[in-house]
């Protein structure tokens, strides 16, 4: 994997972990995420007047992306009712690189990853998934929530594929990414309205946080799109999912969480996978 996409995906993982950790530290993390998504669209509006909008053929992928992203978010909400966040989130995120690679092989055969890259992707995914089980060995989790988490990983992977297709149709990851952020910001109040949650209540007291967090969120997303543009999508997706491990590092430093041996193994496995991808 070339240096540019590798560093772009790695920086995307770090910034993604940072703003998510900040959102989770808020008293209402759901409202914080909502404000971040909305403000990411708001700060993207001026850019449209400079770089323009995607061509017509890219809008199909933008709309499909919203559908897959919304489905993933709804699955996440359902999972959180069935298993702890610390287990559900890594399981879903760890599934994404494997699913992206599967979609890649099926839909983009001209960009088939090599054996070394596939090995790196599997190592990263295994490390992230193991992270979810590292502190929950005594809990009995049925197969249904696990299957639901895997399904969420698959729909999130489909969202990555729509990004790849949309960028190809647009010809510029920045133009596509800015438009995607604006559309997601428009869709957010609509979906909240359908669910019966007042958008104004979610935004109350979150405006300033949403603004600053959205700068990191947009930076993370655009860096990821650049990685998808210039590198293999399965490898870029895998490196991006190391954000779970960076988030763990933040929680250890800031929250003084204890680190068990399984967490150490999962981190070593995932980062070894990232190193393998750089060599692949």
Q: What is the pLDDT of residues 30-70, one digit of tens each?
A: 888 889 999 999 999 999 999 999 999 999 999 999 899 88
* Angle, helices 29-51/207-230, rounded to nearest 10 degrees: 60
pLDDT at 135 over 60: no
pLDDT digits (tens, 9 = 90+) for 3-31: 999 999 999 999 988 888 788 778 888 88
Q: What percent of the chain has pLDDT over 70?
A: 91
Percentages of the chain per state (helix, strand, coil), in multiples of 5? 85, 0, 15
State the pLDDT at residue 256. Answer: 60
Sequence-separated (6 or more) residues with CB below 8 Å from residue 49: none
Whether the per-residue pLDDT at 137 is higher than 80: the answer is no
Q: For residue range 169-225, list pLDDT tens digits in order.
A: 999 999 999 999 999 999 888 888 887 888 888 899 999 999 999 999 999 999 999
Q: Distance between CA atoms of 112 and 39, rounded to whole angstroms?
A: 37
- How buried is 53 (Cβ within 10 angstroms: 0-12 exposed, 13-18 middle, 19+ buried)? middle
Number of helices (H), then strands (E), in the chain: 12, 0
> Cα separation of 127 and 134, whole Å?
10
| DSSP one-letter string for 26-48 | SSSHHHHHHHHHHHHHHHHHHHH
**HEC sequence for 209-273:** HHHHHHHHHHHHHHHHHHHHHHCCHHHHHHHHCCHHHHHHHHHHHHHCCCCCHHHHHHHHHHHHH
- 140 band by pLDDT with thresholds 50, 70 and 90: low
pLDDT at 139 over 60: no
State the pTM of this model: 0.89
């Amino acid at each position: 994997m070339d240096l540019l996409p590798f560093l772009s995906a790695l920086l995307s993982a770090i910034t993604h972990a940072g703003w998510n950790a900040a959102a989770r530290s808020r008293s209402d993390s759901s409202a914080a995420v909502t404000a971040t998504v909305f403000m990411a669209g708001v700060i993207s509006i001026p850019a449209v007047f400079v770089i323009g909008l995607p061509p017509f053929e890219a809008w199909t992928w933008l709309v499909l992306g919203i559908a897959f992203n919304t489905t993933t978010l709804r699955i996440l909400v359902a999972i959180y009712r069935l298993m702890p966040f610390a287990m559900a989130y890594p399981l879903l995120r760890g599934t994404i690189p494997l699913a992206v690679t599967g979609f890649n092989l099926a839909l983009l055969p001209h960009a088939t990853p090599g054996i070394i890259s596939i090995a790196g992707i599997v190592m990263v995914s295994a490390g992230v998934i193991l992270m979810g089980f590292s502190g929950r060995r005594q809990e009995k989790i049925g197969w249904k929530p696990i299957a639901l988490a895997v399904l969420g990983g698959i729909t999130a992977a489909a969202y990555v594929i729509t990004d790849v297709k949309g960028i190809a149709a647009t010809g510029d990851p920045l133009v596509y990414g800015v438009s995607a952020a604006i559309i997601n910001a428009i869709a957010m109040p609509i979906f909240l309205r359908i669910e019966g949650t007042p958008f104004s209540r979610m935004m109350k007291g979150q405006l300033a946080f949403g603004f600053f967090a959205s700068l990191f969120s947009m930076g993370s997303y655009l860096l990821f799109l650049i990685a998808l543009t210039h590198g293999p999508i399965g490898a870029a997706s895998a490196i991006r999912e190391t954000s779970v491990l960076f988030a763990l590092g933040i929680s250890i430093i800031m929250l003084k969480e204890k680190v068990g041996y399984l967490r150490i193994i999962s981190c070593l496995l995932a980062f070894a996978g990232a190193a393998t991808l750089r060599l692949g």
